[in-house]
Amino acid sequence: MIVNVSSGVTIKPLPALSVYSASKAALNAFTESLALKAGLFDVRAKLVLPGSASTTGFGKNASPGWA
């Protein structure tokens, strides 16, 4: 079992996080493709999109006036 942790920001992008969003979207696509290939060898690949954590302050970095 391979488990990759991504982000919900790939579902609803936030301003000022384009590079972060792109890297997580790439991880999503990689994991989905890997699951197809690895499945041939009885290996599963799964993607986890955790919910937001308001105590981390991550959202503050995505405010439009940031840059």
Write the pLDDT tens digit of every residue in 5-41: 998 888 877 777 888 889 999 999 999 999 999 999 9
Q: What is the pTM of this model?
A: 0.75
What Cα–Cα distance (Å) separates residue 33 from each residue in 26, 28, 45?
A: 11, 9, 9
The 10s digit of each residue's pLDDT in 33-63 is 999 999 999 999 999 998 777 676 666 666 6
**Residue 47: both structure tokens together:** 């993607």
Q: Of 49, 54, 44, 3, whose CA–CA distance to 25 is shortest?
A: 49
For residue 66, pLDDT beyond 60:
no
